[in-house]
């Protein structure tokens, strides 16, 4: 009799636990994925519509056990997008903001085609032509560089290039409006004489000599010199930025009609 009572009690407990579990599952189940997209291109709009359907696939998952990393992984399948904000809204929804990355740099390949990078220097994808998906213009062409697309394959001068470009962006605001191309030049076997040749849209050229030393500081100094030029002088000529061989101190930029490197 005692055993029977224990079994009945245990069975009742299991039924109660199952009922509670079912109730909690009903309450803590994703019924809505609210995604706010920030897009800048027609392609971005198309991708956003497709991605929204994939994100709706998380409806029905347990809010408690859902991993936000799984949601972010779904977004990462679209390299032009990234998750700006994400959070669970208990008991039954997930809210996220997904933004489109802006194309900015195009690394030219000798065999043709381009590797496309965003404004922060993050690799996005390969393209046959250098046509920016947002406005149809061209991205800043990078040549002479050999860095790879994957993480850990940044290669020679990738960090210095990005430091210089981001420093210029701080003052120019929109890099593509002013910068046409950046070319890595190696004129001797000594790294000290390597330089970035930056062609500005008006015509003037900026040479950052020995870019492994203070690339951001040299870039900012070059932009200051660029702003100081008359409209006529911005059409042609060269702005050259060097560092002191002994101290590494960035010198005052020099402007001339002819390149000191030619």
pTM (2 d.p.) = 0.84
CA distances 140 to 36, 109, 201, Å, are 29, 14, 10
Q: How far apart are CA 145 and CA 51, in angstroms?
A: 34
pLDDT at site 261: 67
Region 161-186: mean pLDDT is 94
* Residue 164: pLDDT over 60: yes
Residue 7 has pLDDT above 70, yes or no: no
Quote the percentage of the chain above a pLDDT of 90. 67
Closest CA to 161 of 128, 195, 126: 195
What's the pLDDT score for residue 94? Answer: 94
CB 248 within 8 A of CB 215: no
**b/e code 38-74 from CB counts within 10 Å (16+ = b):** ebbbeebeebbeebeeebeebeebebeebeeeebeee
Look at residue 17 in the predicted model and tell me its pLDDT: 40
């Amino acid at each position: 009799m005692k055993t029977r009572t224990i079994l009945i009690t245990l069975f009742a407990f299991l039924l109660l636990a199952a009922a509670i579990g079912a109730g909690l599952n009903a309450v803590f189940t994703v019924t809505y994925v609210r995604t706010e997209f920030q897009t800048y291109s027609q392609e971005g709009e198309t991708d956003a519509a497709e991605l929204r359907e994939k994100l709706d696939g998380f409806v029905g998952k347990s809010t408690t056990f859902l991993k936000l990393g799984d949601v972010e992984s779904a977004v990462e399948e679209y390299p032009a997008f990234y998750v700006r904000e994400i959070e669970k809204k208990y008991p039954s929804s997930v809210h996220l903001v997904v933004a489109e990355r802006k194309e900015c740099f195009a690394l030219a390949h000798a065999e043709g085609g381009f590797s496309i990078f965003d404004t922060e220097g993050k690799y996005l994808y390969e393209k046959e032509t250098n046509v920016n998906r947002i406005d149809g213009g061209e991205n800043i062409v990078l040549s002479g560089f050999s860095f790879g697309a994957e993480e850990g394959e940044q290669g020679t001068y990738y960090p210095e290039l990005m430091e210089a470009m981001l420093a210029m962006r701080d003052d120019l605001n929109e890099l593509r409006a002013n910068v046409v191309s950046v070319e890595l030049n190696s004129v001797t076997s000594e790294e000290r004489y390597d330089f970035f040749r930056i062609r500005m849209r008006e015509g003037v050229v900026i040479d950052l000599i020995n870019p492994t030393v203070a690339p951001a500081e040299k870039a900012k100094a070059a932009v200051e010199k660029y702003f100081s030029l008359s409209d006529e002088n911005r059409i042609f000529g060269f702005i050259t930025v060097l560092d002191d061989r002994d101290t590494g101190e960035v010198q005052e930029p020099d402007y001339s009609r002819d390149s000191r490197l030619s």
